[in-house]
């Protein structure tokens, strides 16, 4: 008999097909009154599949009294109530590592784009301005100083990418890492003051909210660039908009925002910021690997009692 599984929202077709083959799946997104459905039938489900962007809050977890495992498509945990899961003894699987390369690639794509003004130059050419104007000089990347906030799985891959550009790397974490081959800055403000480029690769969540404040942006300064491929909430977005508009920092490359998919209108007219639609891990290869790990987490739990990649 197949385990009963609740699918929170749409997944890529290959993953949906694999889930339907292996489990008795109910698509929660088709319910017009989710609260009523969960009150009537929430007790049926042993497993929940969700996305990092959707998560699972305490109310959803409480509405599933038979829930034993959550398998999340993504690496972010800020929208998953891990404390609620722990209290119930519910296992939580997620998809780390398989997206490290794609996200690190995107971080460097943003870094190169905003430093060299590539997207702005593309718009310059498309507007027909090349025939009558000279595009402004840009900033060289090679040989510069790269500061990384969050030297975790993705942060370490970003640091390795930097070696190809002969960049000096330093990092800031809550604590120094004994195995890190890079210099540690005990203060984020000092890291920002030192860096030419500050890349945010830290985890999100309430404790990291607005960690990159107006003071941090001022420490980065008018020749410094901010790159964020983490979570939009890590940056004080209003302060960032102001710093970019006033040129108190040189520029920013942003894949994430505080209130996605809503992006501050004030950013649209600025040529010193590159805006992406939260696509850092969005490659065919990475999405298939993430889907495979969602399935492996479920299968490993039902066979061995723990997900292959456990978040708690």
User: Given this model, what pLDDT does residue 61 score?
Assistant: 98
3-state helix, strand, coil in the chain (%, to 5): 40, 20, 40
User: Given this model, what pLDDT does residue 1 score?
Assistant: 86
**Cβ distance 255 to 228 under 8 Å?**
yes
Helix axes 100-116, 284-304, angle to 10 degrees: 150
User: Given this model, what pLDDT does residue 204 score?
Assistant: 87
Residue 76: CA atoms inside 13 Å, Cβ hemisphere, count? 25
263: helix, coil or strand?
coil
Write out the two tokens for 6. 């609740």
User: Given this model, what pLDDT does residue 164 score?
Assistant: 97
Stretches in the chain below the pLDDT threshold 70:
none
The span from the CA of 85 to the CA of 69, in Å, is 9
The span from the CA of 191 to the CA of 201, in Å, is 14
The span from the CA of 51 to the CA of 9, in Å, is 8
**Cβ distance 234 to 210 under 8 Å?**
yes
Q: Which residues are catalytic?
A: 231, 260, 278
- Give residue-wise pLDDT tens across range 108-167: 999 999 999 999 999 999 999 999 999 999 999 999 999 999 999 999 999 999 999 999
124: helix, coil or strand?
helix
């Amino acid at each position: 008999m197949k385990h009963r599984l609740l699918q929170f929202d749409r997944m890529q077709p290959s993953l949906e097909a694999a889930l339907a083959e292996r489990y008795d799946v109910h698509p929660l997104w088709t319910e017009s009154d989710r609260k009523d459905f969960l009150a009537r039938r929430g007790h049926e489900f042993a497993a929940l599949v969700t996305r990092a962007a959707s998560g699972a809050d305490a109310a959803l977890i409480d509405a599933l009294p038979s829930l034993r495992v959550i398998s999340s498509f993504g690496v972010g945990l800020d929208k998953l109530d891990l404390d609620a899961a722990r209290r119930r003894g519910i296992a939580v699987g997620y998809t780390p590592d398989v997206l490290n390369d794609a996200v690190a690639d995107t971080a460097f794509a943003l870094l190169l784009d905003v430093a060299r003004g590539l997207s702005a130059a593309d718009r310059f050419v498309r507007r027909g301005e090349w025939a009558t104007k000279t595009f402004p000089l840009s900033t060289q990347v090679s040989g510069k100083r790269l500061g990384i906030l969050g030297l975790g799985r993705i942060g370490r891959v970003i640091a390795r990418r930097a070696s190809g550009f002969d960049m000096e790397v330093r990092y800031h974490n809550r604590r120094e890492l004994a195995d890190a081959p890079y210099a540690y800055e005990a203060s984020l403000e000092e890291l920002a003051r030192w860096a030419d480029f500050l890349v945010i690769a830290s985890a999100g969540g309430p404790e990291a909210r607005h960690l990159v404040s107006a003071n941090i942006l001022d420490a980065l300064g008018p020749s410094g660039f901010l790159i964020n491929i983490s979570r939009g909430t890590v940056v004080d977005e209003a302060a960032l908009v102001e710093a970019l508009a006033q040129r108190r920092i040189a520029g920013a490359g942003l894949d994430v925002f505080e209130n996605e998919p809503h992006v501050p209108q004030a950013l649209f007219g600025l040529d010193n910021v590159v805006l992406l639609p939260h696509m850092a891990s969005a490659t065919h290869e990475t999405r298939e690997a993430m889907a495979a790990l969602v399935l492996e987490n479920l299968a490993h739990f039902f066979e061995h009692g723990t997900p292959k990649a456990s978040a708690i």
